[in-house]
Amino acid sequence: MTHSNLLVEDIKMALETIRTHKVRSFLTVLGVVIGTMVAILVASILLGVEKNVQDSLNEFGVDNLFILKFDPGIRFGRLSPEERTRKPLTYEDGVAIKEDAPAVKDVVIEALPHIGDTPQPIRTARNKNHELTNIQFRGVTSSYAEVVNGKMKEGRFYTEQEDLHRADVVVIGYDAEKSLFPDETAEGKQLLVDGNMYTVIGVFDKKKSTLNQAGDVEVFIPFRTYKKHYPQDDEIVLIAGAQPGMKAIAEDQIRGLLRTRRRVPLNKPDTFGISSAEQLGVQFRDIMAGIFQLVICVVSVGLLVGGVGVMNIMLMSVTERTREIGVRKAIGARKRDISFQFITEAMTLTGIGGILGVVLSLILSFLMQLAHVPSSVPFWAILVALSVACSVGLFFGIYPAVKAARLDPVIALRYE
């Protein structure tokens, strides 16, 4: 009998054993099923979230630089005492960057409440009996839509003249319109924001990213209009759009300008932070990689438990089939034939567990997508999961297989 035929026969015998002991086999590989399912599901969620975060960042422009008084990167915890006491950036800083940094094409200047350890004030927008709380409300200069690639669903963005004349006009996000104007078009209508009345002149198109839903409830008014209504809000955020292919040069020019304007000594670190979509994406990937490693450690425990269960059930199988092993040896089966049979059975058992885990993870991933949770199951994750599941069977099936192969055929035939 050829090796391929022998393998097919061993797999058939393994499947017959599993069919005979369905419940016992299922409980044995339950750890493998859960471990495989969790690993694939977590990988799919993390990859989906990462893709959505990167898409969301890229929507603000791959050549854009974000400048704040502290590091705008992904961070946890509060600002340091030194960061809290830093003086904010200024409107003049933005103008200086636009005029004196040749690698910078344009600069957006944003006004918003002071950023510190206290929560940001909650702004509310109202239209008749429709209300939307915790909107993204800020004042931005007229080049915002162009710099961040903001596409308009209807209407237009406000002009520099409307900003200079402090016009009470507003541009809102796609979801903000759906919530505040569910049965009508927002353009040309009045909108009450935090007690002040504005005229809606434009609505942003829906963003591609499904993660940054908060970005679709944005409410923007002209920079000087914002300062007219909120003179106490002193926080300034700058978005510098670099010339194509000159982002690194633009960053160096901006850093040099701001260090000079903020009188930072040569031996002292920056008193501001500069980042980009690419840098934020790298930081986020590093965080996701750390989370994935932690999850893999937890999943490994489940696979270890499942593997011990497989070894235990295979040892029981060796005991139950001692006479069968004796018969096979008596008619010429070699030690390696016996060990190969039990290893194949163990790998078939965990392989089926891996397949069940893959199927369950695909179903759950599909359900999450229906619920708008970012999830994308990569093909490599399925292959790795199945390989690991079979490897668990191989590793934990070796000892029972060796024990079966070493049985004395005479003693095995006498076994009752």
pLDDT, the chain, mean: 83
Q: Cα 401–20–403 angle (5° rounding)?
A: 15
DSSP code string of 335-381: HHHHHHHHHHHHHHHHHHHHHHHHHHHHHHHHHHHHTT------HHH
pLDDT in tens, 79-121: 777 777 788 899 999 999 999 999 999 999 999 998 776 777 8
- For residues 416 and 306, which has the higher predicted lDDT (pLDDT)? 306
Q: What is the pLDDT of residue 75?
A: 54
Q: Phi/psi of residue 65, each to 5°?
A: -120, 135
The domain spans of the chain are 3-55+291-414, 115-233
How much is the pLDDT for 98?
93
pLDDT in tens, 3-53: 555 566 666 766 676 676 677 777 777 888 888 888 888 888 888 877 777
Averaged over 304-316, what is the pLDDT? 82
Give the pLDDT confidence score for residue 230 in this predicted structure: 94
Mean pLDDT of 152-158: 93
pLDDT at 187: 92
> What pLDDT shows up at residue 172?
94
Give the pLDDT confidence of 311-362 residue by residue, as tens digits.
888 887 777 777 776 777 777 777 777 787 788 888 888 888 889 889 999 9
Report the Cα–Cα distance between both ends of the chain, in Å, rounded.
30
Residue of 415 and 174 predicted with greater confidence: 174
Mean pLDDT, residues 134-159 taken together: 91
pLDDT at 210: 46
How much is the average pLDDT of 44-69?
80
Banded pLDDT at 1 (limits 50, 70, 90): very low
pLDDT band, residue 167 (cuts 50/70/90): very high
d(CA 394, CA 332): 25
How confident is the model over 191-238, as pLDDT tens digits?
999 889 999 999 999 876 544 445 578 999 999 999 999 999 989 999
Per-residue model confidence as pLDDT tens digits over 168-186: 999 999 999 999 998 889 9
- Residue 218 sits at the vertex; the CA angle it makes with 212 and 220, to the nearest 5 degrees, is 145
The whole-number pLDDT of residue 300 equals 82
Residue 14 has what pLDDT?
64
Higher pLDDT, 333 or 401: 401
- Helix, strand, coil share (%) of the chain residues, nearest 5: 55, 15, 30
Which of the two residues, 279 and 211, has the higher pLDDT score?
A: 279
83 within 8 A of 288, measured Cβ to Cβ:
no
pLDDT recorded at residue 285: 79
